[in-house]
Structure 1
Amino acid sequence: MSRLAGITVTRAARHALACACLCIWSAHAAGQALAQDLNEVVASVPVTVKNLYGRTFTGKVIVTQFKPAGAGPFPIVIINHGRGNDRSKPGRFRYTQQARFFTERGFAVFVPTRLGYGDTGVDPDPEDSGGCRDKDYAPMAEAASTEVLAVLAYAKQQPYVNPERVLLIGQSVGGYTTTAAAAKMPQGLVAAINFAGGSGGDPETHPGVPCQGGKLESMYAEFGKTAKVPMLWIYTENDLYFGPQYSQAWHAAFNQAGGQAEFKLLPPFAKNGHTLFVAGLNIWEPLVAEFLGRNGFPAEPLKQ
């Protein structure tokens, strides 16, 4: 028996809740080829968030789940997506190749598709941060991290996980969200990884220069005050969303405020280094494996 948000939850109740969530999306999942070797399933998690303008929204985060074979208990990793120009695509975030890296090391993987993206519907958009000249990144961080922590609470209900061994990961806006969630220090969080985290970038109209980069620096400083777990930040020299002068300043602000982030600025990758997490697995996997090992997680694939 466990307690979540003041509610007593029995193992049977947790199982029933999980089944109900799975049923909601079973029809959706049936239309796609699930990765059977990764034990892929799809669920949904109800959340309530508030946007930039103070409006409250209630919806359901779609959660793609992968796990190793066996009963566990497995450590939890949550992978947080970024924010593309067309928020309707993909309909459901999966990151199958990246998930495989973690399941091979014994992790149960949870990939949320947050409100305002894909099949959750793009309107309303809780992560709207306003126009380029008047950005407010705080409501975005609050809304997105609230959803991540709701997914974490759901993940901890699964009978095959170890709720005291949690890793958070995110790319782009997902990296910013991961840092915001880490700043809330959820129970069981061990470490976090930020891939090219930030917001407000546009490689077409202002390459490498995000809107109101100084405001993001202030946000990272705020996160650094309370984020007390080890973090790994991975950026590239040719990130067309957030140039090195910004990522380095954000990292400095985070650590000077009390954060514990290791910063890796990698050489240029492809035409836009912002794509490293998605397309450069062979480059980042050794860095992440070494970071996992230093923080008590398996660095190498487990023997089957």
Structure 2
Amino acid sequence: MVPVHPQQLPWWTGKPGKSSGADTAAVDARTLAAPAQLSRSGELETTIFKPHGEGPFPLLVLNHGKSLGSPRAQERARFLSISREFVKRGYAVVIPMRTGFSKSSGEYVEEYCDMTANGQIQANDLDDVLAYVARQPWADPQRILVGGQSYGGLTAMAFATRGVPGVKGVLNFAGGLRTNGCQWQESLVQAFGNYGAQARVPSLWFYGENDSHFGHELASNMHQAYTAAGGDATLVKFGAFKNDAHGMSGSRDGVRIWWPETEKFLRQIGMPTEEIFKLAEPSRPAKSGFAEINNIAAVPYLREDGRDQYRAFLNKSQPRAFALSSSGAWSWVEDGDDPAGRAVASCQKNSVSPCKLYAIDNDVVWSGKA
């Protein structure tokens, strides 16, 4: 028996509105533990977004990157901006945390600078997840898209070599892996060449000019190695994106970059592109009128270092959020999934008092009450 726990997530709280030409449907958001390989006898923490209904729905399986620090401490990935675009078009989106990450069981394994092996080790978990998902009545096992960002992009490209029935294509958002103390760039190029020689499906790649991990030159070298070996890949090199293009796929502002090319790609491989569901816009606290966003002196409870951080927050890109508590704790978050929720959670780790939102984007939402 696989435990399934319904859970509301921030992009889809409330009821969806009506839209001409699109049916209305709430989103079924849940986390579950999917059985892993029998040799590991474990479970993989997996998030699923899908429209309400029986399906069967085409599938998008998204793969996360690797943050600094312990994989066990990494937060559960949700890819809210990407998931939203695909659920609107009738897809079920499946986001597994791989072995050793977050609440998934087992231990993370890395073969140091052997990037070919690293990608394939991570791709083993996709075999397990798809074997489980394909048996679900709401899933269409003949229409599968696999994608990933950073280490998840490398994982997706490794998985493209396996010829899994029903997989139509791969989306690679800034795919790769950096390892200190070795020639990791050369190893990445070699890995993509190895994958290209065995690839069974077409892929679409996105790499930005100011990507702090994998810039245009390295992306071109990986693409050249991949296609020269026989792989079918389209490389989209876009310009600078905010402070770091590596996070483009996690930003709601990144949709304008990746969706037009993705729409063309999906049509070429026979996957759906038409919006058929209207989703509710995310709810957020209203502007309170407590103070103007740039009034640093009005922010309560903060010591001087906290006020310095609020100044830093004012220079961050949107979406962004700042949280604080009566004990003087604070935290700010910019871009990515649910910045408001993440800011409160981060603040709470260092506070004995409840943390609350002070500002979202350009609005102060603080009510004046602790």
Provide TM-score, normalisation by structure 2: 0.66
Query: Does structure 1 residue 272 correspond to structure 2 residue 244?
Result: yes
Return the offset for 1:303: 5.3
Query: Does structure 1 residue 40 correspond to structure 2 residue 21?
Result: no
In structure 1, C-alpha distance between the alignment counterparts of 2:11 and 2:250, rounded to whole Å: 19
Return the offset for 1:243: 1.9
In structure 2, C-alpha distance between the alignment counterparts of 1:295 and 1:138, rounded to whole Å: 26
Map 1:105-254; keep pairs closer than 5 Å.
Answer: 105-120=89-104, 124-126=107-109, 128-130=110-112, 135-200=113-178, 211-254=183-226
Given that 2:63 and 2:149 are in contact with CA atoms closer than 8 Å, whether structure 1 keeps it comes out as yes
Relative distance call for 1:30 and 1:194 in structure 2 (3 A) is closer
Given that 1:45 and 1:60 are in contact with CA atoms closer than 8 Å, whether structure 2 keeps it comes out as yes
Given that 2:35 and 2:132 are in contact with CA atoms closer than 8 Å, whether structure 1 keeps it comes out as no
Which one is further off, 280-289 or 96-105?
280-289
In structure 1, C-alpha distance between the alignment counterparts of 2:88 and 2:9, rounded to whole Å: 23
Percent identical pairs in the alignment equals 30
Which one is further off, 182-191 or 139-148?
139-148
Structure 1's unaligned 5+ residue stretches are 1-19, 50-55
* Superposition RMSD in Å: 2.4
Relative distance call for 1:59 and 1:260 in structure 2 (3 A) is same
In structure 2, C-alpha distance between the alignment counterparts of 1:91 and 1:21, rounded to whole Å: 22
SS at match of 2:82: helix
Given that 1:239 and 1:272 are in contact with CA atoms closer than 8 Å, whether structure 2 keeps it comes out as yes
Given that 1:34 and 1:41 are in contact with CA atoms closer than 8 Å, whether structure 2 keeps it comes out as no
In structure 2, C-alpha distance between the alignment counterparts of 1:274 and 1:152, rounded to whole Å: 27
Given that 2:2 and 2:32 are in contact with CA atoms closer than 8 Å, whether structure 1 keeps it comes out as yes
Relative distance call for 1:31 and 1:38 in structure 2 (3 A) is closer
SS at match of 1:143: helix
Query: Does structure 1 residue 287 correspond to structure 2 residue 261?
Result: yes
Name the count of aligned residue pairs.
Answer: 263
Larger radius of gyration: 2
Return the offset for 1:58: 4.5
Map 1:12-161; keep pairs closer than 5 Å.
Answer: 20-23=1-4, 26=5, 35=12, 37-48=26-37, 57-86=40-69, 87-120=71-104, 124-126=107-109, 128-130=110-112, 135-161=113-139
Return the offset for 1:41: 1.5
Task: Please state which structure has a larger fraction of its residues in helix.
Answer: 1
- Cα deviation code 1:170-210 (max 9, x no counterpart): 000000000000111111111111010010168xxx9xxx9
Given that 1:90 and 1:118 are in contact with CA atoms closer than 8 Å, whether structure 2 keeps it comes out as yes
Counterpart amino acid of residue 22 in structure 1: P
Relative distance call for 1:201 and 1:273 in structure 2 (3 A) is farther
In structure 2, C-alpha distance between the alignment counterparts of 1:169 and 1:65, rounded to whole Å: 14
Return the offset for 1:231: 0.7
In structure 2, C-alpha distance between the alignment counterparts of 1:170 and 1:261, rounded to whole Å: 15
